[in-house]
Amino acid sequence: MKILKIQTLRGPNYWSIRRHKLVLMRLDLEEWADKTTSEIPGFYEGLIAALPSLNEHHCSPGHQGGFLQRVREGTMMGHVIEHVALELQEMAGMPVGFGRTRETATPGIYQVVIEYQNEQAGRYAARAGVRMCQSIAETGTYAAAELVQDLRDLREFAASAALGPSTETLIKEAEARGIPWMPLSARFMIQLGYGVHQKRIQATLSNRTGVLGVELACDKEGTKNILASAGVPVPRGTVIHYLDELQGAIEDVGGYPIVLKPLDGNHGRGITIDINSWEAAEEAYDLASAASKTKSVIVERYYVGRDHRVLVVNGQVIAVAERVPANVVGNGRSTVEQLIEEVNRDPQRGDGHDNVLTRITIDKLSLDLLQKQGYAMDSVVPAGERVFLRATANLSTGGIAVDRTDEIHPENVWLFSRVAKIIGLDIAGIDVVTPDISQPLRDVSGVIVEVNAAPGFRMHVAPSQGLPRNVAGAVFDMLFPSPQPSRVPILAVTGTNGKTTTTRLLAHIVKQTGQITGYTTTDGTYIGDYLVESGDNTGPQSAQLILSDPTVEVAVLETARGGILRSGLGFDQCDVGVVLNVAADHLGIGDIDTVEQLAKLKSVLVESVMPKGYAVLNADDPLVSQMAQRVKAQIAYFSMNPDNELVARHTAAGGLAAIYENGYLSILKGDWTLRIEQAVNVPLTMGGRAPFMIANALAACLAAFAQGVKIEDIRSALSSFQASVGQTPGRMNLFKLGSYHALLDYAHNPHSYKALGSFVLNWPGLRIGVVGAPGDRRDEDFVTLGKLSAEMFDRIIVKEDSDRRGREPGVVAKLICQGIAEAISAGTANTSKVEYELILDETTAVNKALDEAPAGSLVVILPEGVNKALTLIEARKPIKESVAMQ
Ligand code: ATP
Ligand code: ATP
Ligand code: MG
Ligand code: MG
């Protein structure tokens, strides 16, 4: 068995619209290709011995043991690998359920798809699945030690990639609300929502958290002073910098018992509470001073009471937790040490902040505290006796949390919400020491000891006792108060030909509405009128660049085959999805071998349109119109044929459509025909002579109309959009060169050649073609291009790209010539006297064609790259770019 390739999918994709997180493995089964599992002696037995839990997989028989039954009866190895890879992730604590296995067009080569929670773990599990199955097939076993190691590695991936527990709860809430999120490339920030509507969080800081509030909260003394002057009960205290100030400070706060803590500490570090003697105070001073960056120590009165954390979000008290310091309860037999071990065995306890609870660790403070209570680590604790191991209740030192949200007194609710506002925090964690949270603080001498910015959520979301509280919900109510949207409209365009042209036109239409439009195309990524990045930007990363831009109000995204195939769509759903056409191109690449498969791939886009949105489909192309069956959204059809039956039925039922009728581009809405513009007035259609451009324009108009753009805006956009080098470089750019014209166009597959032909054949004079094609197509495709060239041109120069994409020089050109010759002898050529010659160098070929062009002729150049060909044309000083050629 040999793994040929592993890819990670992250959005709606060929295999699933709903399951975005998939690993796709291309696998050569080699000698195992033509054996089913029942034909490999000992395989079934070896597999259940290695992974008995596979019994839980139901598979197609649909009952427990169903999958193993298939293994016993005989199934393909790829299928077993899929189930093993899923099971390994399940066993490592990352349950996943989706898998697919398909043989490709090449016998013995399979595509195995498995779901993941964690990308790296998914890829690892795919490899481990192959390893395990190969070992069992060859030796009958998979060593237990190997499996242990696999599971350990898988768990490590999960642990190392895990976001903090608070971030996790926020993300879960985002997903529950259908708000898209993506990690940003710095500072663990997460973007919530898209474009102008996006918000950011970092742990539990939000983009609304003010820096002044955070700085004040981090300054415990400042916090206390501000609160004290607002009449809020805070501990009596003072700050000192030298030991010789300690005595005076103790007197100032009214004597023992006192608390010493660093001015700038957190997580309970350096704090000693309930200090009752000078000796203890001196020791505590050293501890606190050492924990402070500025050697500043707070001296405070000690207030007796229980420790609470109150979470306030957007001025509202959302949750209250009582924090109980780390402790153990005796059973009359075990020592303190044994009791701690027992408590730490709880799987909920981990190290640091990542688990629900933290393990109890012992330090000098704990030993002192034990001693105060009359115990040592080896003392046996009487049954029922509670022994504290920490004085402070921070969860990060092993404390537990008890929910008290329903017990808090209304006056305290008022007070705490006021406190968060006084400090200036949208999300605040208030630490309160009071004997009873159900009484007003003032009545029971409770105090607020500090206010925390970026408070942890885990004690509220997963308290050790009491009701879990959905605190993340409150954060989202604040960040995205309804009906405020979190998304910007996404209009996405796919198809075999015309994507860039249609995307640009659609973006141009949307711009008329005054909204800031971000769009991606094969030439580059743009925001408004500016280029952000040039390059072939039709994949998910470019989409995400637009969607994470805080200025973008509408996204228009050219969405090409390559990106969907490689990693899925860059968005989970869109508002309008357009499919222009599906025709043979790039077949044989990425295991897409037929036009039907290509159609399935492109339909991913329209299947991802949200139910309220629109799928805009070409009613003249059956491969496209059939996609309607799989679409959950509303449908709108466009057609060049005013009598198209599908459109007629659709509009009769009240549906939306766009058609070309009586020379007009028109929208049909129910019984009404809304004329947008006459094709002759739409420069993009070359005076109405380029039918495929009319089709592209219909699609763009319909998409815009479906999104709510007004007809007037669409009309003015159509008349101001030209197939010029500026707006659509390399797409039907027409130049007048003295007595003849030159046309620069990028057609490079049979479907677009035919489209081009529909325009060229309308040309009254001699038609000359300078043709070639990218080398990564199949041999038969070049022959077809040759035939099609012969159908539209009178004279042809065949040239080659300088980047031949792996082909030997001359091979592609010869195949094109072969096609021309075949067309001539079959009588399908434009004229039986088509002249053709072979000039491999593009520059020489173009210059020759232009030099020899007779008056009234049209030289059509199909260049390797737009810029080079453009330079050659511009050197001849085109008179003016003529577009409408009336
Ligand atoms: P964290 O950041 O985890 O909240 P911290 O290091 O910032 O902790 P504080 O919140 O100031 O420290 O104190 C930690 C705990 O010590 C408090 O929650 C409270 O239980 C106790 N404590 C602090 N000051 C006093 C006081 N004056 N009287 C009684 N208990 C106190
Ligand atoms: P690519 O896959 O290279 O990004 P694309 O789909 O973005 O191509 P465009 O760049 O808009 O397509 O157009 C490329 C060429 O395809 C045009 O120059 C024209 O020859 C042809 N073409 C454009 N629209 C259509 C159409 N609707 N049907 C057939 N051919 C078309
Ligand atoms: Mg605190
Ligand atoms: Mg394109």
- Whether the per-residue pLDDT at 868 is higher than 90: the answer is no
- Whether the per-residue pLDDT at 654 is higher than 70: the answer is yes
What are the E-state strand segments in 369-474?
Answer: 386-388, 400-403, 427-434, 447-453
The region, left, alpha or beta by phi > 0 then psi within -120 to 50, assigned to residue 663 is left
- The confidence band for 411, taking pLDDT boundaries of 50, 70 and 90, is very high
Write down the pLDDT at residue 886. 32
* Ligand 2 atom closest to 496 (CA): 6
- The confidence band for 352, taking pLDDT boundaries of 50, 70 and 90, is low
Write down the pLDDT at residue 131. 95
* pLDDT, tens digit (0-9, with 9 covering 90-100), for 65-80: 888 888 888 899 999 9
> What separation in Å is there between the alpha carbon of 153 and the centre of ligand 4?
42
> What separation in Å is there between the alpha carbon of 756 and the centre of ligand 2?
9
* Sheet (strand 835-838) strand order: 733-737, 740-744, 858-861, 767-771, 795-798, 835-838
> What separation in Å is there between the alpha carbon of 385 and the centre of ligand 1?
25
Question: Distance between terminal CA atoms of the chain?
Answer: 64
Nearest to 570 by CA among 626, 494, 641: 494
Is the preceding peptide bond at 257 cis, omega within 30 degrees of 0?
yes
H/E run at residue 111: strand 109-115
Q: What are phi and psi of 743, to 5 degrees?
A: -125, 125
* Ligand 1 atom closest to 393 (CA): 20
> What separation in Å is there between the alpha carbon of 112 and the centre of ligand 3?
51
Cα–chain center distance at 621? 31
Ligand sitting nearest the alpha carbon of 397: 1
Contact 861, 843 (CB under 8 A): no
Contact 480, 486 (CB under 8 A): yes
| pLDDT, mean over the chain | 92
Quick check: pTM over 0.90? no
Write down the pLDDT at residue 355. 67
- The confidence band for 354, taking pLDDT boundaries of 50, 70 and 90, is low
- The confidence band for 283, taking pLDDT boundaries of 50, 70 and 90, is very high
- The confidence band for 662, taking pLDDT boundaries of 50, 70 and 90, is very high
Write down the pLDDT at residue 881. 52
Write down the pLDDT at residue 553. 98
Q: What are phi and psi of 504, to 5 degrees?
A: -65, -40
Nearest CA to ligand 2 atom 20: 747
Lowest-confidence segment of 49-63, 431-445, 545-559, 581-595 by average pLDDT: 49-63
* Ligand 1 atom closest to 429 (CA): 4
Contact 409, 439 (CB under 8 A): yes
Q: What is the mean pLDDT of residues 731-752?
A: 88
In three-state form (DSSP H/G/I as H, E/B as E, the rest C), the secondary structure along 246-265 is HHHHHHHCCCCCEEEEECCC
Contact 200, 191 (CB under 8 A): yes
Is the preceding peptide bond at 483 cis, omega within 30 degrees of 0?
yes
Contact 867, 791 (CB under 8 A): no
* pLDDT, tens digit (0-9, with 9 covering 90-100), for 722-731: 777 777 778 8
Q: What are phi and psi of 593, to 5 degrees?
A: -110, -15
* pLDDT, tens digit (0-9, with 9 covering 90-100), for 539-575: 999 999 999 999 999 999 999 999 999 999 999 999 9
The percentage of residues in the chain with a pLDDT greater than 90, rounded to a whole number, is: 72
Nearest CA to ligand 2 atom 21: 752
- Whether the per-residue pLDDT at 348 is higher than 90: the answer is no
Nearest to 882 by CA among 734, 738, 781: 734
* pLDDT, tens digit (0-9, with 9 covering 90-100), for 108-124: 999 999 999 999 999 99
User: What is the rounded distance in angstroms from the CA atom of residue 636 to the CA atom of residue 619?
Assistant: 9
Q: In the numeric block, which tokens belong to residue 400?
A: 């537990």
Beta-carbon count within 10 A of 100 CB: 18
User: What is the rounded distance in angstroms from the CA atom of residue 135 to the CA atom of residue 602?
Assistant: 39
- Whether the per-residue pLDDT at 353 is higher than 70: the answer is no
Write down the pLDDT at residue 885. 41
Pocket of ligand 2 (CB under 6 A): 495, 497-501, 522, 560, 580-581, 692, 695-696, 731-732, 745-747, 751-752, 755-756
Distances (CA, A) of 263 to 121, 137, 195, 210, 429: 43, 65, 41, 21, 17
User: What is the rounded distance in angstroms from the CA atom of residue 145 to the CA atom of residue 832?
Assistant: 75
- DSSP assignment letter at 748: -
Nearest to 420 by CA among 381, 390, 444, 450: 450
* pLDDT, tens digit (0-9, with 9 covering 90-100), for 17-28: 999 999 999 999
ipTM of the complex: 0.90
| Radius of gyration from C-alpha coordinates of the chain | 36
Nearest CA to ligand 2 atom 25: 498
* pLDDT, tens digit (0-9, with 9 covering 90-100), for 690-710: 999 999 999 999 999 999 999
Q: What is the mean pLDDT of residues 857-868?
A: 90
Write down the pLDDT at residue 58. 77
User: What is the rounded distance in angstroms from the CA atom of residue 485 to the CA atom of residue 483?
Assistant: 6
> What separation in Å is there between the alpha carbon of 268 and the centre of ligand 1?
6
> What separation in Å is there between the alpha carbon of 610 and the centre of ligand 2?
27
SS3 112: strand
User: What is the rounded distance in angstroms from the CA atom of residue 496 to the CA atom of residue 507?
Assistant: 19
Nearest CA to ligand 1 atom 16: 392
Q: What is the mean pLDDT of residues 258-266?
A: 89
User: What is the rounded distance in angstroms from the CA atom of residue 795 to the CA atom of residue 852?
Assistant: 11
Write down the pLDDT at residue 24. 97
* pLDDT, tens digit (0-9, with 9 covering 90-100), for 445-460: 999 999 999 999 989 9
User: What is the rounded distance in angstroms from the CA atom of residue 502 to the CA atom of residue 703?
Assistant: 10
- DSSP assignment letter at 589: B
Number of residues that make up the chain: 886
Pocket of ligand 1 (CB under 6 A): 235, 259, 261, 265-269, 271, 273, 300-303, 307, 392-394, 431, 433, 449-450, 452
- The confidence band for 164, taking pLDDT boundaries of 50, 70 and 90, is confident
Cα–chain center distance at 195? 14
Distances (CA, A) of 391 to 8, 306, 594, 706: 49, 11, 71, 64
Nearest to 99 by CA among 29, 22, 26: 22
Ligand sitting nearest the alpha carbon of 324: 1
